[in-house]
Amino acid sequence: MTATTTHMTAPAPGAGLAVFDEFAPGGETAYANAVQRFREQGIVLPTFAQLRDPSTIPASVTEALATVDKDAPDPRNLFRVHWFNDHADDPTGPNHPGVVDVPNHVELPPELTGVEARIVLAFGNRFPMIRAHKVLAAYSCLVARLVTGRFDPTVSRAIWPSTGNYARGGVAISRIMGCRGVAVLPEGMSRERFEWLDRWIEHPDDVIRTYGTESNVKEIYDECNRLAQDPTNVILNQFSEFSNHLGHYGVTGPALETVYRHVTADRPGRLAAFVSASGSAGTLGAGDYLKDAEQARIVAVEALECPTLLYNGFGDHNIQGIGDKHVPLIHNVTNTDLVVGISDRSTDELDLLFNSPAGKRVLAERGVPEPVIGALVDMGYSSICNTLAAITAAKRWDLGPDDVIVTVATDGSELYDSEREKVMSTHYPGGFDDDEAAAVFSRHLEDVSTEHTLDMGPVERDRVFNLGYFTWVEQQGVSIPDFEVRRDQAWWDGLRPLLDGWDERIRQFNRDTGLAAD
C-alpha cells in the first residue's frame, strides 16, 4: 500500500468542510482494506478525466464493455458513468450500447417552446444502472472518500440521503464496489423508485423511508444524524459533499460544452445560460464550469409550491428530484444569476401531454417535428421543470435565435408512470382527449409567465446565502467560518485542483490493486 499522507499545519476556514484535499489521518487501514476488496473482486476505478472524455478509456476496458448490460450490477459499468453513452434504439436488443462523440440531446423548436432562443437538453437517462445522471454524483462522493482512506468497504455502510435518484445511484455504486449501501428517502416518492430499490437491495432494512415527499429534506437529515451515531455508517450527504459539486463541474460541465459546440458548429450562437433545478445543487456545478469556460449565466430552479430561494417560502410539491426547503451547502449561491419558480401542476400535466396519444397529436398539429415528439419520453418531471425554466429565462432576458440555453433531462418519463396514473385519476377521470391536450399545451407552454423570477444581484445573493445559515449552522453544526468561506468565489476556484488530485489517487489505487488498465 503506497498511499501518502499530508497534514495541514493549522485549520483554515473551509478546512472543516467535506472537501477531502488530503489523505485521512489514520486512514491507512481503511485504504488497505479497500485495495484488498477491490483486488479480490476485480474492480477498477475510472478517473474523472476518463469520465469527462471516454475516448481516453483504455481499449481493453471499452472492448469488455461491448458485452456488458449497462443496467447490470457489473463493476465494469463504472466506466459508463458519463454523458457519452449511446441510446439503445432496439429495446429488445442487447443492452450494451457504445460511446458517442456528442452526448445524446434534443433541441426543442419554437413550435414547442414559444421562444426564439435555442433550448437544448442533454439526456440523463443514458447513464447506466439507474438511468439518471445522479449515479455520477454518487460515484463522485464515494470515490473521493475511498481513495483518501475515509471509507472502508469491508466494515462501513454507505448512507445515501436523497429524494430518489441519488439514493438509487448510491445503492448501485455501493453494490458494484462490494459494500452495503443504504437508501434514505421520503416514503411518498414514486413507486418506480422503490421497485428499483427492491431489485437492487440485498438487505430489506437498507431502504429507510422517512416522512413526507419531495420537500421533506430535514426529515432525511434527522434520520442520517441518528444513523451517524453508529461509526460504521458513513453519511454521503449529496447536499453537503463538495465532491458532488466537483464531479459535475469536471464531468457534466465539459459534456454540456461539447453539446453546445456541436449545435453551434453550423449555426453560431452564444451560450447564454445553463439551467438546472436546485435539488442538491450538484448539477449546478456544471453551470460554474460553463460560466468559467463560456461566460454562461446560471439559472437555479425550484418548485413554485415551495419557493425557498424566491420568497423564503415553504410548502409541498411533486417535482420529484428537486428536494428543497433549504439551501444546499454545495450551492455556490453567489455565482447564481437568476432563480425561477415552476409549478408542479405544469410538470404533472405536461408529462401527460408528452406521453399520451392525444398529446402527441396536438404537438404534431402545432408543428412539433416527429423526432422531437419521440424524444419527449426521455424527460421526467425535473426535466420538464428545467425546460419550463429555460423558456422563462429566455422570456425574462428577451433572448433571441442567436442565444443558446443548455440544460439537462435528469431522468426519463419511465420513472413516473405511476404518478401519471394519479394525475389521470385525479384530474382526468373520464380520459384525456385532444381538447384537453390542447388546453394543457395552451396553459403550460403558450402562456409561460416570468412572474416568479428573481434576478440575483448582490443583495439577493447575500439574502439567499444567509438563508442557508439556519440549516447548516443551527441545525447541522457547520462552523460559522466554514459556512462563511463559501461566499468567496476564490474559495470555490480553489476546489478545482482537487479533481486532478483525486485522479492521481485513483490511478495509484488501481496500481495498488494490481488491476490498472493498460
Helix (H) or strand (E) holding 34: helix 28-41
Band the pLDDT of 414: cuts 50, 70, 90. Answer: confident
Structure-block grid coordinates of residue 507: 490511478
pLDDT digits (tens, 9 = 90+) for 420-473: 888 888 889 989 999 999 999 999 999 899 999 999 999 999 999 999 999 999
Give the distance, in angstroms, between the CA of residue 298 and the centroid of all CA atoms in the same chain.
15
What is the C-alpha separation between 437 and 387, in angstroms, rounded?
18
Query: 440 — alpha (psi -120 to 50), left (phi > 0) or beta?
Result: alpha
The pLDDT score that the predictor gives to residue 158 is 96
Q: Tell me the C-alpha to C-alpha distance, in Å, between residue 369 and each of 116, 260, 329, 335.
A: 16, 21, 41, 36
> Alpha helix (H) ranges present in 271-317?
284-294, 308-311
Report in angstroms the alpha-carbon separations of 358 from 347, 355, 368, 431: 17, 9, 14, 10
Asked if 252 contacts 133 with a C-beta cutoff of 8 angstroms, the reply is: yes
Does residue 483 carry a pLDDT above 90?
yes
pLDDT band, residue 26 (cuts 50/70/90): very high
The answer on pLDDT for 302 being more than 80 is yes
Least confident piece of the model among 130-134, 266-270, 311-315: 311-315
Cβ(390)–Cβ(405) below 8 Å: yes
Share of the chain above pLDDT 70, in %: 93
User: Mean pLDDT over residues 241-250, rounded?
Assistant: 97
Q: What 8-state DSSP symbol labels residue 87?
A: P
Residue 163's pLDDT is 74
Q: Which residues have CB under 8 Å from 480's CB, separation 6+? A: 473
Going along the chain from its start, the domains and CATH numbers come out as 105-127+245-455 (3.40.50.1100)
What b-and-e string marks burial along 301-312, b requiring 16 or more CB atoms within 10 Å of the CB?
bbbbbbbbbbee
Give 90's pLDDT tier (boundaries 50, 70, 90). Answer: low
Phi, psi dihedrals of residue 455, rounded to the nearest 5°: -70, 130
Overall average pLDDT of the 40-64 stretch: 96
Beta bridge mates, 108: 119
